[in-house]
Structure 1
Amino acid sequence: MPRILVTNDDGISAPGIQALEAALRAVGEVYTVAPLYEQSASSRRITLRKPFRYETAGKNRYAVDGSPADCAMMALTLLLGFKPDLVVSGINNGPNLGENVYYSGTVAGAAEGAKYGIPAIAMSVNQRVDIDYGPAADFAARLARQALADGLEPGIVLNVNVPHPTYTGVEITHQSKKISRNLMIETRDPYDRSYYWMHEEVPLETAEAGSDYAAVRDGKVSITPLHFDHTAWDHLESLRSLENHSWGDALEPVPAP
C-alpha cells in the first residue's frame, strides 16, 4: 500500500487537513506532520535561530511547532524513517492562485516534498468561511490515486485549486500574472492607536485565458504544474555584457549635490 505524507499551513487541528486525511486513507497509509499552530502565508520559511519540537497527535500524526517547510523536512529526515510515495499539502481554506503561490505555506509544504524527488500536490479550496471540504477532499483522493499510478515529473508540484461548493470540470492552467491589490484597512484600538488589517482584492473578471484564476472563476478545478527554478532564462543572453564590465576598477566618487 502506498504511503502518503500529509501536511498543511492551517495547523494540525484545521478541518481541511482532517478532511484530506480521511479521504486519502482510501488511497494509502496516511502519515501527518503538520504545524501545531496556524502558519498561513509563511512561504518556505524555515526555523534556524531557535530549536523546535514535535508532539504526537494520534496514530501516525505529529504536530510541529514550526512552519510547513519545517514540518515536511522533519518528516522526511527524522520522523518517518522512510521515503513516502506522495506528499499532499492542504486542504487550504482559501485559494492559492497567481502570485499567492509565492506566499503560500500550503505550496511550500508540497515543495519540500518535490525537493526530495517525491510527487507532490498542494490542495486549496476557493472559499474562506462556511467551507464544505468534501468535494475538494474527494478530488484530492482521486488525483492522488492517479498520481501514484502514473507518476509525476520529479521536482514538480501540482497546485490544485477547487471552486466552492461545486465544480464543473478540470483545467490544466498556467500561473496567472495578475497582480492582486493589497489594501491596508485602518482600525483604532481602545487607546485610539492605529492598527491595520491587510485586505486582498483580486480582479477575477480580467484574468487571462488559460490561467489558474480564470479556471476557478469559471467553476473549474485548476491544476497548475509548478517548479522552483526561478531563473529568468529569456534574459540570460541579454545580460552577458555585464560579464565584461570592469568590476575591479575603482568607483568614481559621486559628486556632492
Structure 2
Amino acid sequence: MRILLSNDDGVHSPGLIALYEGLKGLGDLEVVAPDRDHSGASNALTLNRPLTVEQHLSGFRSVDGTPTDCVHLAVNGLFREPFDRVVSGINTHANLGDDIIYSGTVAAATEGRHLGLPAIAVSLVSDGRNHYDTAARVVRMLLESPRPFVLGPRSILNVNVPDVPWEELAGFRVTRLGDRERAEGAVPMTCPRGKERYWIGAAGKGGDAGPGTDFHAVSQGYVSLTPVHIDMTRHEALVSLRSWVDSLQASMGDGA
C-alpha cells in the first residue's frame, strides 16, 4: 500500500509526526504538507504564483502553499509511483459539523478524493492531553481492516477521535454532521503601530449536537466516523425550485 500523508497544521505538527510513526510498516509512506499552519484554508488552491517544495532531513516534504496544493502536487507531479490513498491529519483540534467547510485537514482529503483516491481526514478532539497516538492507532485499525470499506465516488471519511488513551475509548460510532451555533463576535485589538485589527471569533458550540451527530458521539467517548459527500446539491429542494422557476418562466411569457 502506498499512502500519502498531509495536513493543515504544517509539516512539523506533532499530529502529523504521530500519524507517520503510527503507520510505519503499513506501507510506503510519503509526507507532503504545508510549510506552516494553514488551519481554516479550506479548499484554496494557489494559482497566482509558483510553489516551492522543500525536502527535510526527516524525508518529509513541505510546500509553501495550502493543504490542497500539497495533495495536488504530490499526486499530480512530485512522484512517479501512484498512491493508493490519502490520509490527512492528525489535526490538532476537532473537525465536527460546520468545521469541515473551513477545514484544511478535510480539504486535503477531499483533494485526494477529487483526484480519484480513497481518503480519510482525522482530527483529535483535543482537551490538552494530546493523545495523538490514540488517533494514529484508530487510523491504522481502519486501514488494516481485512474488509476494506468503499464509500463511493466523491466521498471521504471524516474521523474525530476523543483525546483519551486508547484503553478509554468507548468504541466507534457512525455519525452524521451536526452543526454549530453562531460563532462568537470578532475580537478587536490595537497593533503596536496604533492601527485597529481583528481576530476572528471562536467557533460556536454545538447547536445540532444530539444523538446521531458527530458532536454527541465524541462527547460520549466514541470515535466519530462520518461519510462526507462532496456533492453539495440540496436534492430535496430540486422539485420545489423547479416549480418556482416554471412559474417565473410562465410570468415572462405573460409579460411578452
Q: Which TM-score applies when normalising by structure 2?
A: 0.88
- Shift of residue 195 of structure 1? 2.5
- Superposition pairs for residues 8-27 of structure 1, below 5 Å? 8-27=7-26
Distance (whole Å) between structure 1 residues aligned to residue 4 and residue 138 of structure 2:
17
Paired with 1:170 and 1:180, the residues of 2 have a C-alpha distance of: 28
Structure 2: state its 5+ residue gaps: none
Q: Do 1:181 and 1:200's aligned partners in 2 also have CA atoms closer than 8 Å?
A: yes
Alpha-carbon distance, 1:208 to partner = 2.1
2:179–2:207 Cα contact (<8 Å) kept: no
Q: Give the length in aligned residue pairs.
A: 249
Partner of 2:118: 119
Unaligned runs of 5+ in 1: 253-257
Distance across 1 between alignment mates of 2:82 and 2:196? 49
Matched to 2:150, the amino acid is L
Match of 2:170 in 1: 168
- CA-atom RMSD in angstroms: 2.4
CA contact (8 A) 1:5 1:31 kept: yes
CA apart distance, 1:142? 1.1
Give the letter for the 2:151 counterpart: E
* Superposition deviation, residue 206 in structure 1: 6.2
C-alpha contact 1:93 1:128 (8 A) present in aligned 2: no
State how far apart, in whole Å, the 2-side matches of 1:87 and 1:211 are.
25
Distance 1:27 1:140 in 2: 11
Tell me, what secondary structure is at the counterpart of 1:94? coil
- List, as ranges, runs of 4+ consecutive aligned residues in structure 1 with deviation greater than 6 Å: none
1:109 aligns to what? 108
The amino acid of 1:211's aligned partner reads T
Q: Taking every aligned residue pair, what percent have the same amino acid on both sides?
A: 35
1:162 positional shift: 0.6
Whether contact under 8 Å (1:180, 1:200) holds in the other structure is: no
Deviations 1:40-72 (A, max 9, x none): 110000001111111112465211111010000
Separation of aligned partners in 1, 2:48 and 2:251: 36
Q: Which residue of 2 aligns with 1:152?
A: 150
**Cα deviations across residues 4-35 of structure 1 (Å, max 9, x unaligned)?**
10000001111110000111113111111111
Task: Determine the structure 1 residue equivalent to 2:187.
Answer: 185
- Is 1:135 aligned to residue 134 of structure 2? yes
